[in-house]
Structure 1
Amino acid sequence: VRSFSPDWRWQALWWHHFFLLWSITHGQTRYSIPEELKRGSVVGNLAKDLGLGLSDIFDRKLRVASESDEQFFTVDAGKGELVVNDRIDREALCGQSTSCVLPLQVVVEEPLQLHRIEVEIKDINDNSPGFLSNELSLKIAESAAVGTRFPLESATDPDVGTNSLKLYSLSKNDCFSLKIKEMEGGKTVPELVLEKPLDREKKAVHKILLTALDGGNPARSGTSQIIITVLDINDNFPVFERNNYKVTLGEKSVKGAVVLKPKATDADEGLNGQIEFLFGSRTPDFVLSMFDIDALTGEISLKGELDYETVKSYDIDVTAKDKGSPEMEGHCRVQVDVVDFNDNAPEIVLTSQPKPVREDAPNGTVVALISARDFDSGENGKVTLQISKGSPFTLKPSFSNNYALVTSGRLNRENYSQYNVEITATDSGSPPLSSKKTIPVSITDVNDNPPVFSQSSYNVYLKENGVPGSILYSVSASDLDSGENAKISYSILDSKVQDVSVSSYVYINSDNGSIYSMHSFDYEKLKVFQIQVQAKDQGSPSLSSNTTVHVFILDQNDNAPSVIYPSSAALGSLSHQRMPRSAKAGHLVTKVTAVDADSGHNAWISYKLAEATDASLFTVNQFTGEVRTKRAVYEQDESSQRLLIEIRDDGQPVQSSTVTVSILLEDGLHEPILDLEQKVAEPSRKNGRIALYLILSLASVSVLSLVTFVILAVKCIRSSSSSSSCCMRRSDCDDYKNPNRNLQIQLNTDGPIKYVEVLGGDMMSQSQSFRSCMSPMSEYSDFTLIKPSSTTDFKEVISVLDASLPDSTWTFESQQVRKGQEEDMMKLGLKNRNSWGQWCDL
């Protein structure tokens, strides 16, 4: 009993572990499929084989994980079938291994169960046998004995079983046959057998095609051409002690370590018996970069760093060549197997890229899926993960070294817009190896901040007559949010400016807030207006804020004074006046009246006598424009006097205009003579005819004036309410409000013309009318009615006058009464507004 007690203890321990494992893993299922199946091909009914219902796939969160780096299989949640997820290449997975099994882990939660299934990958004949090179050169002495064998390059076929390499064949020839030599480990090497003696003189080169065939159905093949050069003499080749050598090396072997020292002998003497060692001519580059061979001793040494995870075994073709003529060669194979060492640190792999997390995300929100792996095996391949402290994240394990990175604390984008989560992976080796990986996690914003303007309101001062399309001002707003929530667009809220939408005056760049003018502004028409600007972000829902831009138009001196009297329409800038030689000092010759459409200092007008035939005879009042005599007229004074009067405003730069007055001194003149449409008659004309024409003209004008005054008086008496002048009807005042741009001009002067009224139709009309009244203060008792000779000149006068007023109609007297500006009355020479009624009473 004592002798069996230890075995009994071991059996009890074994059964204990068996039942413990059975409580977790209920069984193991195995499937068998061929390689290269299409994606979506069914492997087997996993749910049925595991005894699960279709609802368990969702309810119990069934997952399939592969122990390899790639996920070749997945579960069809609708049918419970295990299907192919990716291309499966058996040769890439298992190489030349006859058995290729992919282990899978099926994890079922609630309650947690682990099932292990295996999928056997069966080989299909998808690879053809292949030689390392398509051409092989051999040199054979003609003295070679019949039956001599020459090893050839073996073909390789990644397939296994019946699909692997099965046989070789040789193309038809006269001297050679093919034999297959069985090597240790089941490998076969084709050998070329000399069947007949060679005769170099008959045939120096033999070309034979070597074909390798596999056992597939249909069979696949690969070829290599053998070029045999027949050599003379030296009929013995070097021979190795062994045809095959096998050596094991540790993965951490140092450079220069001796791998093997094969020995070879040659029966020849002299140069024909001296042997040189070298690697075969078809040795791959990765072998040449890893090993070196001494040409004299044949010693093979390590010159690179071995990596078990990259290459586990090396096959080296060693050639022993003598120095005879021709050279003879012997061959052997050296197999170097690498022993694994724990030299790989664990890796952290992102199964899914981290997703941005809203700053209001609850705890437990999945950010990313990660997995850990180690290419080492055993304890050296076991990996544990740790996350850096202080971050609001944690790792939640799932299965087979797979984890979920989830939130575990409050997030605040305003404090941290991005977290760099550092994860450390450590294996269980001795000493342990570790690696770190930083996962950036972006925090997305919630739109909780509206745009804010840099100022609550803006004042913009803009000069008139600017270039259309020029920038007025740029408003700016900022938003504490980010991304689309902070992307701001600007717009102008609809409002009215003089009953016109503000969008017809300005427009705004929605991207940068720059405000541009749609056209040039005229201070005389528009002095100030407001723009309501809105800044709106692109969040959902969007937030906005408003600001007010006050635009003030600054007046520029862009209007020159316009002469109203004396009228220069008929004779250009020349006005003719007559004055008796009996006039005393201070005699009022005429009065120049001008207006300026500008405002303020730009509209202050002054009069100056620029040139005169006799500057000592006349003077011009700087403020009223009255032209008076400075002294009495002398007999020696010339009968024709010419005055050039300059009218200037007070703007910067100064705008000015001139008017020329021609004065004719005559004896015994008692009648005023105004501007004439024709030049003064030649002195040679007969005085009788001129006097007759003047008497007829004055008589007809006097009768017409009398009739006009009677009509005006009757209308003024019948008018229900008084107007600014008896010479204007109430209906005329009402017409000021209609859209037609009717114009009325009333002038009060102390000169020859005491009252003038101009009634115009539409601006484009070709008809205008004039009326004049005389004051009892006039030195003369007659008047002259003058009609403009050019409609264009009259339009220019109207446009100059109209530009200075905001209303569509214009009246000197009413405008001056509203403004109450003394300087405007001075410009027009209206020093006493009460005289209007006195004149009309006549």
Structure 2
Amino acid sequence: MPERLAEMLLDLWTPLIILWITLPPCIYMAPMNQSQVLMSGSPLELNRLSEEQRILNRSKRGWVWNQMFVLEEFSGPEPILVGRLHTDLDPGSKKIKYILSGDGAGTIFQINDITGDIHAIKRLDREEKAEYTLTAQAVDWETNKPLEPPSEFIIKVQDINDNAPEFLNGPYHATVPEMSILGTSVTNVTATDADDPVYGNSAKLVYSILEGQPYFSIEPETAIIKTALPNMDREAKEEYLVVIQAKDMGGHSGGLSGTTTLTVTLTDVNDNPPKFAQSLYHFSVPEDVVLGTAIGRVKANDQDIGENAQSSYDIIDGDGTALFEITSDAQAQDGIIRLRKPLDFETKKSYTLKVEAANVHIDPRFSGRGPFKDTTTVKIVVEDADEPPVFSSPTYLLEVHENAALNSVIGQVTARDPDITSSPIRFSIDRHTDLERQFNINADDGKITLATPLDRELSVWHNITIIATEIRNHSQISRVPVAIKVLDVNDNAPEFASEYEAFLCENGKPGQVIQTVSAMDKDDPKNGHYFLYSLLPEMVNNPNFTIKKNEDNSLSILAKHNGFNRQKQEVYLLPIIISDSGNPPLSSTSTLTIRVCGCSSDGVVQSCNVEAYVLPIGLSMGALIAILACIILLLVIVVLFVTLRRHKNEPLIIKDDEDVRENIIRYDDEGGGEEDTEAFDIATLQNPDGINGFLPPLLSLVLMVMHRTS
């Protein structure tokens, strides 16, 4: 009520005050040396007349100008008097006319051309236009001639508090972390007032909170909003609406005000630990579940949000820590329990785990509140499932001698049904692993028997697969690999390692090693091979050769004497008996062929043919072959040369035609042997251009050898 009464009194007295201010007093100045025109304005300007008069006394013109003022927003029944123009040139005869021009002249401001009174005929708004520049002039009433030059003056619109503060950027939104201390800055707001900030208190603003206490406070002058309560909890209330007021006139009564809203959101901090919804979880899982399968999920709720609610899960205790694992689902924020090792209902039917959930991101400001973690118990029950048969061993290794009898048992596999209601088992061989059907198996007891003979020397290992099938459920099968090793027996006699052929020099010495031989045995005794060598009983006293066992399990053949002659006997056969060390031992007879050969003085074999001609010069076989190659090349050159000469139709140079005819030989059907060849003059083969009757010694030697060997 007091405020309402004050507003009514203000509305009643304001027009009277404005009318009193704008009364048009006529101030007449005594004539001076210069003509003077006095502009009188509001009473606010009367106290300045003495100063203005002093200025006019220094002027050479008849106008005295000050700023005129008019209140904005005044709307009375009559136009408001702004001021009066007067000149001392006016003797009172009313022969002077006043003229007004410029901003708003005639439309906003009107002048009485006789009295010089200026009135505002429209309602003015300082915020629209704060001042007007006009031009005043005094002219003769009859002639309209200027009595003085025109001069400008300004009418200023005086401000009144007619604009309320405004929040141009509202409504506002701000955030502040929850659990903040008292006085934490939230944000600041700004209001604007269109009134004149330099005139009075019309634009002096004071801020206050109308709604939002006691949670927030505001500084009256800076409009900074702060928290007024400490440790506000987002989980209790997340959003607050604050109504802010800005009031002008310094906040005093009668001032205008504007309001806006500020929405304050508390942001989350990690001030809450995770908490399991249940203290005990129950899950069941079949024993034949695949590894890695999810068994169940546990969840710890956290009142925080975002990363502050992220938790990691771990199995920290229990009797199933080796069989189960838990992983964290970042999306659902729960823990997934998975199987990491196979289960067996018959072995253990249930497991108990202790699971912990702990915050990933810990805020050190709240770590003193206690551990940001929680635990729960998980009980997992294993359910029975129809499982396939289980072999007593994951693999089997069997051994059998290669001379084992057909249908003999070489081994046995066993399997059982692990289920409580055990089913009988039938066994079979996967024939894809036994294409030759060398083995059989008893379907009832799993005994493996031999179906075909074995030979270790052909194959040492046989790998087959045994299948076990439940009789009550044929879909439940298991497989197991069986490796069968064939053991050796002494069923192969030793023999020479290769086809040996020995050579004996005619000029050899007694006791000389003719040949060294070794033996081989297809069997594989455990301690290695050891051979015994001997001659046939009837050749024990062989006059020509003897044998000697070497330390490396080989045999050397030695000559008993010298003076072997290939003309008398070219080849000797020496049977040798070779025995192994098996049980029982086996033996065989291998014959060594010994050829008598002609050798050089250093023991190099040159020829083993009894009819071969041995060169007296002692050339080796390699040298002889090289010589023959050179001779053949020489003959080819001679033949080519002769052929080319004949193609040129140039007769060969023959010293004596009769010599040529005498060297022509005719053979009958049966050759004459040496008589015919002796009639052949070998000199005719010589180079016609060379020395007559001469052949190179080497060529003569070759021809002689060829003749003897033919």
* TM-score, scaled relative to structure 1: 0.30
Which structure has the larger Rg over C-alpha atoms?
A: 2
* TM-score, scaled relative to structure 2: 0.35
